[in-house]
Structure 1
Amino acid sequence: MNTDERWLAFTGVDLLDGTRAPGPDEVVLLARLPRADAAGPVNTVVLEWAALPAVPVVAVTADGRRTRTVDVPAAELMSGVRVGPALTALLSELDPVAARRTYAPSFQLGPAGTGAVHVHSRIRLRREDCCLIRITAQPVPTTGVPRLDWLPPAVAAHAAEAVFLNNHHCYYRKCFADRELEYKYTLRPPVDIWAATARLYDRLRAGGLPGYLMEYADEFQTWDYLNHLFEVPAPADEQGYVSFIPSTDGRHLMKRKWFAEDSFERREEHRKGVVTGNDLGRFVAEQLGLRARRLPTFRRVRYDVNVESARTGHVYGIFFDHCSLVADPTVVLSQCELEYLRTRSVLPPDEAAVRVELDEIAAWLEAFLAESGLPNERGYYSKLSFLRDVVAARPELAVVPG
């Protein structure tokens, strides 16, 4: 195949969900996509139908039968989450039985040198776009994409990871499962964090950070919650804090972070649905066995923008927040944070790339902050250090009601 060619294969949905195996006369619709900008294989591909030009589409079978090639406007490729009438007509032209099946995007075939392709499987589909991730660590040999010799190994590779690929949000994994990697930029209040987030969001949506995509279907989030935080000063192997975030069911999200000083990398643990009773201090002492000092409760308002590395599938969050004490809302800490969140990949994750990409994004973010007139000095100033400093300056705030 031409090393620049990129194809989107529409197959029966039953090939991906495993309810039917591909047959010797399998009919596949092949749409030739525009050449990709990225050099080398990528992990994550998002195809937005509105962003594509008219694409040539042909229906083919493994035994060599094929239809004429038709240029189909991108808006007509899909009808909801099924192929549109123009594609159904091509199926009917070749095989009326196939035309009665439900077809949808299944695989992208990307260039991997002469005689081979990289295979991406579709994991999400909406009426306006679809998301695919690479499922082959090594290229799949082919004598030509229209010959469909790549199809059986592609279906087999997808089936081998069906639980990972076919279940909503199960395609995430976490590098550094018990650690947090994060840079912090401390801002000088008052800061309009919504305006700053909106500028950042617009810049990223416009492709301002080359090589990164908005995280598919989860690119912008808003948060607003209380945080009850207890400092754990000793013993040395327990230093850090434990905090409790109330949830809507009367339980708490419990966060533990272990660190002796503010730093880029910290050990952490999250537990959801924790039943604490009415006395958090008692829970910390009796259930966790910790000697801890309660610090002032604060409210955190936070806006998140999430981006994903197309090359690795690593997802990073950029957060603007406003933390104010419940006892005195004029006492404020406002920060911009950059954090590794998770990885969307079926392939072994490239952990070394996380630090490289964090530094790459940080350099871009610092230029953005400077352009926005905001502080852009990379640091690690934690919420724990903030509360310690507040209590040192105003001891009366150390008394927490309840």
Structure 2
Amino acid sequence: MIKNKKILLGVTGSIAAYKSAFLVRLLVKAGAEVKVIMSQSATDFVAPLTLSTLSKNPVLIDFQKDKTGEWNNHVELGLWADVMLIAPASANTIAKMANGLCDNLLLATYLSARCPIFLCPAMDLDMLAHPSTLHNLQKLQEFGNHVIEPKEGELASGLFGKGRMAEPEEIVVSLEHFFESQKQAKKLHGKKALITAGATREYIDPVRFISNNSSGKMGYAIAEELAAQGAAVTLISGKTYLSIQNSHIHKINVETAAEMFEATVAHVADNDIIVHCAAVADYTPKEKASQKIKKKENDLTIELVKTKDIAKEVGHLLQPHQFHVGFALETNEEIKNAKEKLQKKNFDMIILNSLQDKGAGFEHDTNKVSIIDKTGQIIDLPLKSKKEVAQDIVRLIVSKLPKT
């Protein structure tokens, strides 16, 4: 997928800049044409001569090439590239990108680029976790940029945590998946997909509710991947801080299980693919207090009643051309329980999460799943980012869609 692609690599001032040499080598080996732009501070960590030798192109650092006044044209560079990849992306560069600052050739090229932008953050764990950095990364994603998540491990500071730049091999795989999704986009052209995501809230009184730890990350990743593959997507979302990036996703916000039930059932008939990824409450208070419940001396008992089973109801409404996908989060007898749910709710495919797997399930940026289809075939996927898991899931959906 990378062969003959034009990749513009931006290298910024981070200790992880040493990985850029390995990254350039892998990209060139895969058949890509690579040009490198470095920030001035990046040259303190890796020699431009190294990257120039590996890329077989001059490394660009400043606007002016030499004393004659000849210049490196940032506009032409931005138009030349199929992808601009910034690896490593330091906290400083991320902040400048998010706020439109333009004080070097790399940033001027970023602001001029019309191609997709990928960035690979690399910094110490406290810098990455700082609200300003998280806000800047969110802004960049809202602009449509792609973030290849940093990994956990030992950092240059000696601390252990999240902040390591993704390994060059992982970055190359992410680019391959991106180019593959572009090539395959027409496979879902003309298709419509409905997906639920996030957690529901079942209110006890006006300020208290029963919910769960679902962040919505997996559902949003699937919605984005379905849209990337050409589908018109309706996303029915519970409460979440996440935002959508693709303009082909129509988002419907709900709060309660009852609201999600109504919205889902109302849209089922119009869609070719239905994916239930939301963590929907199984029970809701029988009565919701109209005023805030005050603390009393005695214990408080709340009577709960079952909510409507959205996936089961949709299973009864399916037409032959529709493909029905569910999720199962289990803590014991995982495969057995998932297979029972697949049959009971008329799923064509079910994705199993186990809370026994480290790094999988709620709130994590990664997931480890097993995919079971109607024939009983089981595909076990290793721990991956939720974006990569979403790509695998959508790829399987595409391969199993009923022929029309």
- TM-score class, shorter-chain normalisation, is under 0.3
Please state which structure has a larger fraction of its residues in helix: 2
Normalising by structure 2, we get a TM-score of: 0.25
Specify which structure has the bigger relative contact order, considering alpha-carbon pairs within 8 angstroms and separated by 6 or more residues: 1
Structure index of larger Rg = 1
Normalising by structure 1, we get a TM-score of: 0.25
